[in-house]
Chains A and B, each alone.
Chain A
């Protein structure tokens, strides 16, 4: 059953792995929770990503099992909320410092005291107290913050109410750990504790279990959130670079057969008196596509464009002949910039500063972009070239001008569109992706896997000119 949940989350768990797990458990024993979990993880989860999913599912699965039990026990009667509170303080309050414990009894605790206690715990990295403090925080903040019913939103609200920031806060009182800023790690840990606690409360309130929903896919998606560190993106892109490099080699290996170069063979045969001893072959020229990349950097894709820019940067290293453009209302060529700067941080800074793409409104104008692009690349576009568009196809109500795009696609050998939005959102609101679909291959691109798929498509040696009107993909 547990395996099925894992499979439901897209992990490939084979029967043999299941057997391994069972055998392994035989060697370990079922008693200790940590050992049990680690054993299962070692046999079932075979990559860091899988491990992440595994942890989430494991918690959900066994947490739910335990909760179900609890819900059955707590047959209707007393108010579960107050019961919980009492339980929290008397039962497992040993980790809480005296301050918190005392206040749990006397009504809603003082918010400032809680704030400080939490900040201190985070600064000290006291993970044992997190769970208790989380429940305390919900108790104290809960009244002021409306329960939205969406756990993720609640977590953020409580965090804001508690004033937890990684940045240093010079206004904080002397001696308060918040003065120097809190470790990010600690805050994240606390958020997780909050999330668990909120989920538990919700179950109690409703007296039933929420349906086992698929894990929020975004949890596993590419780090596109604005607040997330660049390091994650870099890691993905580095891998991509390496793959791009090896991909070329693979192709060369597969297509080792070549044509005989008659002229060279004849010339060589002169040495041996006209007998063609050495057969000269025509050298294989690796396919070096000329690539034109158009990248949307408007506000609607702010989080994604950061990612896109780094992808662009990676592509620049991998392909020699490549011209990059960024656009919002109009386009601006950034090829030179990429060639000059090897450092990604500087590039993105420079683009933000002097690309001059955002005019008055800051809204994407695709029609204008296509026309300008055609103008600028008129002479260079040929059937050997590939056009890649990175953008969400949200026109803000302006004319999508698919005719102009069709013209571009026709001149270029291939056209790709990478959309950073999940396919679910396509064609909702002002997204007009389907208008462009007849002219290019549209790829959903917001996870590393999808990016990889795209790279495979890009470097594949098959040159298929997308005939207008051909069904997409």
Chain B
């Protein structure tokens, strides 16, 4: 599955072009910060509303750089055992039993069962112990507890992990680290200090149009433009969850599937649920935007 490692892009523009090549259209800011991350080996903290392509960026970067993507999805209650490493205690038990049966002295056991072969690598550990450099994506870091964040600090600044029984494990390769956050919780200063910061927002109209066109090539240019404009209008409303790029793309796909050729009131009402996901939002959008669209009869004639 591995691609041949292409030369690491050495300028911002090269990186931007390369990202475009794999289907991710970066904004100027995104390209610049990604470039810095690659050049400086610094982790990047990517924040922004849900669905603007934070996770996609990591995937695209991994593809461009020809690296594997190691992903750690964070959630409340995530602990070291699931993120870093765990001792494979079943294997340890078996080893002990096997050896006592063979008549070995128990004295030597202690050293042996805490060896590398009994270690279960979890994403973080895998990322730094991998012989080839990877892209490490720590997704939704704001969902974890502060303790976990503190544990990450050692990893992020020095790329090393301390295992009490084994000692310090240093990275064999420098991963590119992306942390994403939906900003549901303020991250600690210490963590922020170690990262470059990238705020991804809803893209501008032209940029979004380009993305939609790139992802849903079947849709005609004028129709895509219309779609993106409607989305921009919807975003301007006071919604609980404004539609993001992911929703624009979904909507474009849905409309393509339905064979719609223009956005009129009927089509809008039927497919509204694709872009707006709260009941109160639905009402608001239907009322404000839906009525402004042309009647279904008018466009046909």
A residues lining the B interface (CB < 8 Å): 12, 14, 16-17, 20, 23-24, 27-28, 34-35, 38-39, 41-43, 45-48, 51, 125, 183-185, 229-231, 234, 239, 242-243, 246, 343
B236 interface hit (Cβ, 8 Å): yes
Q: Verify B238–A229 contact, CB threshold 8 A.
A: yes
Q: Verify B185–A46 contact, CB threshold 8 A.
A: no
Which 7 A-B residue pairs are closest in the complex by CB-CB distance?
A: A46-B192, A27-B39, A231-B238, A46-B197, A42-B196, A42-B33, A38-B32
Tell me which residues from 29 to 49 in chain B have a Cβ below 8 Å from any Cβ of chain A: 29, 32-33, 35-36, 39-40, 42, 45, 47
Closest to A23 in B: B40
Chain B residues with CB below 8 A from A35, complex form: 12, 32
Q: A16-B193, A28-B12, A38-B28 are in contact. Are A46 and B42 (CB under 8 A)?
A: no
In addition to A23-B40, A24-B40, A38-B33, 4 A-B residue pairs with Cβ atoms within 8 Å of each other are A35-B12, A46-B197, A47-B192, A231-B239
Q: Verify A46–B195 contact, CB threshold 8 A.
A: yes
In the complex, what distance in Å separates the CA atom of A48 from the CA atom of B201?
A: 10
In the complex, what distance in Å separates the CA atom of A185 from the CA atom of B42?
A: 35
Chain B residues with CB below 8 A from A16, complex form: 193-194
Q: Tell me the smallest distance from the CB of A450 to a CB of chain B, in Å.
A: 14
Chain A residues with CB below 8 A from B108, complex form: none
Closest to A48 in B: B199
Q: Verify A42–B185 contact, CB threshold 8 A.
A: no
Q: A23-B40, A242-B184 are in contact. Are A12 and B189 (CB under 8 A)?
A: yes
B280 interface hit (Cβ, 8 Å): yes
In the complex, what distance in Å separates the CA atom of A230 from the CA atom of B185?
A: 21
Question: Which of A46, A234, A239, A246 has the most CB atoms of chain B within a 10 A radius of its CB?
Answer: A46
Question: Which of B42, B196, B240 has the most CB atoms of chain A within a 10 A radius of its CB?
Answer: B196
Q: A24-B36, A230-B238 are in contact. Are A42 and B28 (CB under 8 A)?
A: no
B289 interface hit (Cβ, 8 Å): no
In the complex, what distance in Å separates the CA atom of A351 from the CA atom of B32?
A: 50
B residues lining the A interface (CB < 8 Å): 12, 28-29, 32-33, 35-36, 39-40, 42, 45, 47, 183-186, 189, 192-199, 205, 236, 238-240, 280
22 A-B pairs in the complex with CB atoms less than 8 angstroms apart = A16-B193, A27-B36, A28-B32, A28-B35, A28-B36, A38-B28, A38-B32, A41-B197, A42-B29, A42-B32, A42-B197, A42-B198, A45-B197, A46-B195, A47-B186, A47-B192, A47-B197, A183-B236, A184-B236, A229-B238, A231-B238, A242-B184
Closest to A50 in B: B197
Chain A residues with CB below 8 A from B35, complex form: 27-28
Chain B residues with CB below 8 A from A39, complex form: 32, 36
Report whether over half of chain A's contact residues are helix, strand or loop; otherwise say mixed. helix
Chain B residues with CB below 8 A from A24, complex form: 36, 40, 196
Chain B residues with CB below 8 A from A47, complex form: 47, 186, 192, 197
Q: Tell me the smallest distance from the CB of B234 to a CB of chain A, in Å.
A: 13
Chain A residues with CB below 8 A from B184, complex form: 239, 242
In the complex, what distance in Å separates the CA atom of A242 from the CA atom of B42?
A: 30
Closest to B38 in A: A27
Chain A residues with CB below 8 A from B195, complex form: 46
Q: Tell me the smallest distance from the CB of A124 to a CB of chain B, in Å.
A: 12
In the complex, what distance in Å separates the CA atom of A184 from the CA atom of B238?
A: 13
Closest to A13 in B: B193
Q: Tell me the smallest distance from the CB of B263 to a CB of chain A, in Å.
A: 18
Q: Verify B238–A46 contact, CB threshold 8 A.
A: no
Q: Tell me the smallest distance from the CB of B196 to a CB of chain A, in Å.
A: 5
In the complex, what distance in Å separates the CA atom of A24 from the CA atom of B196?
A: 10
Chain A residues with CB below 8 A from B12, complex form: 28, 35
Chain A residues with CB below 8 A from B36, complex form: 24, 27-28, 39, 42-43
Q: A17-B193, A42-B196, A42-B197 are in contact. Are A246 and B33 (CB under 8 A)?
A: no
Q: Verify A46–B45 contact, CB threshold 8 A.
A: yes
In the complex, what distance in Å separates the CA atom of A234 from the CA atom of B238?
A: 9
In the complex, what distance in Å separates the CA atom of A24 from the CA atom of B45?
A: 15
Q: Tell me the smallest distance from the CB of A401 to a CB of chain B, in Å.
A: 40
Chain B residues with CB below 8 A from A45, complex form: 197
Closest to B142 in A: A242
Chain A residues with CB below 8 A from B193, complex form: 14, 16-17, 46
Question: Which of A35, A38, A243 has the most CB atoms of chain B within a 10 A radius of its CB?
Answer: A38
In the complex, what distance in Å separates the CA atom of A23 from the CA atom of B47?
A: 23
In the complex, what distance in Å separates the CA atom of A178 from the CA atom of B104?
A: 91
Q: Verify B197–A20 contact, CB threshold 8 A.
A: no
Q: A38-B32, A47-B192 are in contact. Are A246 and B185 (CB under 8 A)?
A: yes
Q: A46-B197, A47-B192, A242-B185 are in contact. Are A27 and B40 (CB under 8 A)?
A: yes
In the complex, what distance in Å separates the CA atom of A184 from the CA atom of B240?
A: 19
Q: Tell me the smallest distance from the CB of A40 to a CB of chain B, in Å.
A: 11
